């Protein structure tokens, strides 16, 4: 435990010196996690994760599968609440506000922290209804024209509008995999979140669709704090400004992406990057 | 005699098995690894050849013997006895002869009958012994044939395999044939009925008084076979049942899948299964002895005229019976909506209830509809509860506090007592049965199609 905390401090030092001053230094910290643990029943999946996630940048989580990346991501918007037997410890703060505060409204929290899943999961409704879903349940639109506007602008931001503008009333499930995933991103954006969590959003997509989504993520960085889990180190290198390496439920190393890939401090990180850990 | 013969077949088959296996053993000792099949397969091959044809022959013989002897008997009777006799008269005559032959004599039989009884006894004896001889001969022939085919390279194993396949096919064919037989008899008797009562009168007639004249001059002796009141009563009771069962079953399913934790689920699910296993006659009791009087007294408190066997009581209890059915099918339907959809909705900040009503239920709707239709077809076909708790008189009304009757109740009452198949009263039961069959079949086909199509969507 102490060891991990020390490591975090150490990497933070290295971050501070290595950060590109023009881009990163003035970015305020949006999310802070301290000593986050997760148990699934008797099994401990996370052993004290501490990390700071900066505003309007892409932070990627990498690591072998089963190391707890998704689990940690789900802690941030409290999706672990929906898993029977999952217990979360430690603190996570969004803008200094404790996410696990009993007085906090989970519904509001999840409106502020959107999520995109591994497999595109559009609802079996029309494209329009998929995007309108969030604004409707949160009462964000005053009337039909307002809602139309939200839907169109969300689809635009997700880079999907031009492709679907003539068939907004056709089912979202009829789109291609990549389009479905962008629809899910539009759906998340429609609620006006500040943070977007993405759990391996390209793992079910072909290379072309993946490239489109990566480009989109890069654009969205302007306006959103993005956390992306990926099993592809190339993807992490391409889209993220900061990278965190997880292994066996521990956060091993975290820092500016370039540093992690060119000059990792930790031996395990080196091994993983060289492809020696599965 | 038949019992001994069955025993003999078993013994023969065992002997055949042993003979075949020793032959197989000998091949193995002589030829070693080059023998195609294990000795047991040789044994089984011979045993099957000895046992099965003999068994089939025995069954056919037993089925054919009675009718053949009956025919012979009628042939020997003097023409004076048979002149102008109907089928019923003939079967009366035959049973008299059989009674005499068996020694159950009520009055001094006529000489013709006595003679016929004598020949009946003789023929029966001949037939029995002939059966024994033929069956044993067949077994010996089969044993000889099968044994002569055994050889080291003989593929007894494939022979046994083919036989096993054949048995399985025969079993499934038997099930299909039985169903087709039932349908055929329904259709046949219904056609008979519709030759006496026109189809349109049956389907659209408003009066259901299924009696037949006992004397020609009887007042109101002619029955009326307009089944609309019966159909209407069925619809009333099924509607009440569905109104009770659908919301309760659906909400139970929603609660169990989305809200209940494992502990509650582990208690409620077995209770639902018990509910599903209660014999319908017990539900009938419950309807007659508990629910109907309760409804009646509640009705009289409010100043409503309530029949002692109100549609409400029968339909309500039937609804309770169907609850587990709907809840388990709805449960399946909701559960088969992929978890990712629920996660997607929850991650948007939707509450459980919003997720349920806006995402899960719409996605599960086809499955739920299928379940409701299946339940409806069960409600329409349910018999015991309505026989005990619904009315007998077909009246043209839809008041749930009144007594109505259903198709199933009418079928039961039509077939109780005198069941000669030559009058419209009895045959009407088949026509009703045919309608019931077609309706429930249609509902089931639609329901299963919906359910299946919907399953494909996510798998
Ligand atoms: N719902 C769950 N119930 C029980 N154990 C789980 C559950 N989800 C994940 N785990 C366990 O937690 C560990 C981390 O899983 P996960 O966060 O999915 O890893 P990753 O996303 O890095 O592949 C794994 O060992 C996994 O088996
Ligand atoms: Mg994962």
Write out pLDDT tens, residues B156-193: 888 889 989 998 999 999 999 999 999 999 999 999 99
ipTM of this model? 0.86
Q: If we measure between CA atoms, which residue out of A9, A13, A35 comes closest to residue A250?
A: A35
> pTM value?
0.74
For residue B341, the chain A residue with the least C-alpha distance is A121
Residue carrying the six token digits 């007592």? B417
- State how far the Cα of B408 lies from the Cα of B403, in Å rounded to an integer: 15
Does the beta-carbon distance from B345 to A117 stay under 8 Å? no
H helix runs in B302-423, sequence order:
311-335, 339-347, 352-355, 361-381, 384-389, 407-415
Cα–Cα distance, B175 to B367 (Å, whole number)? 28
Q: Give the Cα separation of B121 and B113 in Å (integer).
A: 12
- Please give the number of the atom of ligand 1 that sits closest to the Cα of A229: 21
User: Is the CB of A260 inside 8 Å of chain B's CB atoms?
Assistant: no
Pick the CATH number of B224-455 from 2.30.30.110, 1.10.645.10, 2.60.20.30, 1.10.3720.10: 1.10.3720.10
Strands A250-256, A86-94: pairing kind: unpaired
Closest in B262, B346, B348 to A82, CB measured: B346
Alpha carbon separation from A73 to A2, A60, A234, B347 (Å, rounded): 23, 11, 20, 12
Digit-coded pLDDT (tens) for A82-123: 888 899 999 999 999 999 999 999 999 999 999 999 999 999
Percent residues over pLDDT 90 in chain B: 46
Q: What would the DSSP string read from start to end of A17-49? A: HHS-TTTTTTPPEEEEEEEEEEEETTEEEEEEE
**pLDDT of B13-67, one tens digit each?**
999 999 999 998 888 888 777 888 888 899 999 999 999 999 999 999 999 988 8
- Touching check for A83 and chain B: CB below 8 Å? no
Q: Which of A8-12, B198-202, B392-396 has the lowest mean pLDDT?
A: A8-12
Going by C-beta distance under 8 Å and a sequence separation of 6 or more, which residues neighbour residue A223? A56
pLDDT at A12: 39
* A-B contacts at Cβ under 8 angstroms: 64
Length of chain B: 459
Grouping H, G, I as helix, E, B as strand and the rest as coil, residue A153 is helix
Surface of B (352-371) touching A: CB under 8 A: 354, 358-359, 362-363
Domain ranges of chain B: 2-154, 224-455
DSSP class of A59: E
Quote the tokens at residue B440: 């429930």
| CA B160 to chain CA mean position, Å | 33
> How far is the centre of ligand 2, averaged over its atoms, from the C-alpha of B127 (Å)?
79
Give mean pLDDT, residues B293-301: 90
Distance CA B276, CA A236 (A): 55
The candidate with the shortest Cα–Cα distance to B361, out of B247, B438, B440, is B247
Q: What is the pLDDT of residue A6?
A: 38
- Using CA atoms, how far residue A277 sits from A65, A231, A242, in Å, is 11, 12, 21
The DSSP secondary structure of B22-89, one letter per residue, reads: HHHHHHHHHHGGG-SS-HHHHHHHHHHHHHHHHHHHHHHHHHHHHHHHHHHHHHHS-HHHHTT--HHH
- The total of other beta-carbon atoms located within 10 Å of residue A59's CB is 22
Question: Chain centroid to CA B274: how far?
Answer: 23
The C-alpha atoms of residue B428 and residue B406 are separated, in whole angstroms, by 14
Residue B345 half-sphere exposure toward CB, CA atoms < 13 A: 25
> CA A25 → CA A30, A178, A244, B21, distances in Å?
13, 34, 18, 90
């Amino acid at each position: 435990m102490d060891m991990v905390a020390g490591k975090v401090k150490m990497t933070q030092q290295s971050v501070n010196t290595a950060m590109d001053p023009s881009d990163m230094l003035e970015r305020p910290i949006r999310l802070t996690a301290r000593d986050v643990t997760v148990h699934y029943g008797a099994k401990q999946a996370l052993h004290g994760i501490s990390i700071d996630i900066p505003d309007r940048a892409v932070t990627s989580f990498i690591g072998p599968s089963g190391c707890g990346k998704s689990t940690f991501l789900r802690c941030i918007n409290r999706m672990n609440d929906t898993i029977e037997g999952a217990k979360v410890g430690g603190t996570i703060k969004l803008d200094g506000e404790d996410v696990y505060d009993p007085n906090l409204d989970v519904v509001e929290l999840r409106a502020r922290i959107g999520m995109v899943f591994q497999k595109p999961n559009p609802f079996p409704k029309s494209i329009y209804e998929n995007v309108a879903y969030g604004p409707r349940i949160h009462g964000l639109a005053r009337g039909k024209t307002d809602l139309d506007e939200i839907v169109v602008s969300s689809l635009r931001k997700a880079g999907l509008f031009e492709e679907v503008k003539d068939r907004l009333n056709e089912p979202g499930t009829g789109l291609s995999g990549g389009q479905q995933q962008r629809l899910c991103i539009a759906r998340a954006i429609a609620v006006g979140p500040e943070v977007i969590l993405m759990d391996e959003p390209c793992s079910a997509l072909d290379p072309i669709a993946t490239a489109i989504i990566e480009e989109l993520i890069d654009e969205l960085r302007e306006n959103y704090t993005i956390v992306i889990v990926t099993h592809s180190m190339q993807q992490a290198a391409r889209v993220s400004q900061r990278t965190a390496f997880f292994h066996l439920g521990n956060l091993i190393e975290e820092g500016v992406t370039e540093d992690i890939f060119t000059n990792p401090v930790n031996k395990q990180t080196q091994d993983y990057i060289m492809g020696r850990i599965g | 005699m038949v019992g001994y013969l069955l025993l003999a077949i078993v013994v023969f088959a065992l002997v055949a098995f042993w003979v075949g296996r020793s032959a197989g053993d000998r091949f193995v000792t002589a030829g070693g690894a080059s023998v195609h099949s294990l000795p047991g397969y040789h044994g089984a091959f011979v045993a099957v050849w000895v046992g099965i044809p003999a068994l089939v022959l025995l069954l056919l013989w037993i089925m054919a013997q009675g009718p053949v002897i009956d025919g012979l008997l009628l042939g020997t009777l003097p023409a004076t006895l048979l002149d102008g006799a109907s089928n019923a008269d003939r079967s009366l005559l035959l049973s008299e002869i059989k009674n005499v032959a068996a020694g159950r004599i009520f009055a001094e039989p006529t000489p013709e009958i006595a003679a016929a009884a004598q020949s009946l006894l003789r023929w029966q004896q001949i037939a029995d012994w002939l059966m024994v001889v033929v069956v044993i001969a067949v077994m010996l022939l089969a044993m000889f044939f099968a044994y002569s085919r055994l050889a080291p390279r003989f593929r007894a194993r494939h022979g046994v395999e083919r036989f096993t396949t054949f048995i399985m096919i025969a079993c499934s064919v038997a099930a299909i044939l039985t169903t087709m037989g039932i349908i055929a008899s329904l259709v046949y008797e219904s056609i008979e009925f519709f030759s006496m009562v026109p189809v349109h009168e049956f389907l659209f007639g408003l009066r259901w008084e299924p009696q037949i004249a006992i004397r020609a001059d009887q007042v109101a002796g002619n029955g009326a076979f307009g089944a609309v009141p019966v159909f209407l009563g069925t619809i009333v009771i099924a509607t009440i049942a569905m109104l009770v069962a659908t919301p309760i079953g659906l909400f139970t399913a929603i609660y169990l899948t989305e809200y209940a934790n494992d502990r509650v689920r582990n208690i409620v699910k077995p209770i639902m299964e018990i509910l599903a296993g209660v014999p319908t006659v017990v539900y009938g009791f419950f309807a007659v002895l508990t629910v109907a009087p309760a409804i009646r007294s509640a009705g009289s408190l409010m100043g409503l005229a309530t029949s002692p066997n109100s549609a409400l009581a029968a339909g309500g209890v039937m609804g309770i019976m169907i609850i587990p059915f709907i809840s388990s099918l709805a449960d399946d339907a909701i559960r088969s909506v992929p978890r990712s959809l629920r996660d997607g909705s929850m991650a948007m900040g939707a509450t459980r209830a919003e997720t349920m009503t806006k995402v899960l239920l719409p996605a599960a709707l086809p499955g739920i509809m299928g379940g409701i239709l299946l339940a409806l077809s069960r409600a329409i076909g349910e018999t015991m509860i309505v026989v005990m708790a619904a009315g007998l008189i077909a009246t043209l009304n839809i008041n749930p506090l009144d007594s109505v009757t259903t198709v199933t109740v009418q079928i039961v009452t039509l077939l109780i007592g005198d069941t000669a198949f030559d009058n419209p009263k009895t045959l009407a039961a088949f026509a009703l049965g045919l309608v019931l069959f077609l309706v429930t079949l249609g509902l089931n086909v639609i329901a299963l199609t919906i359910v299946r199509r919907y399953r494909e969507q996510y798998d």
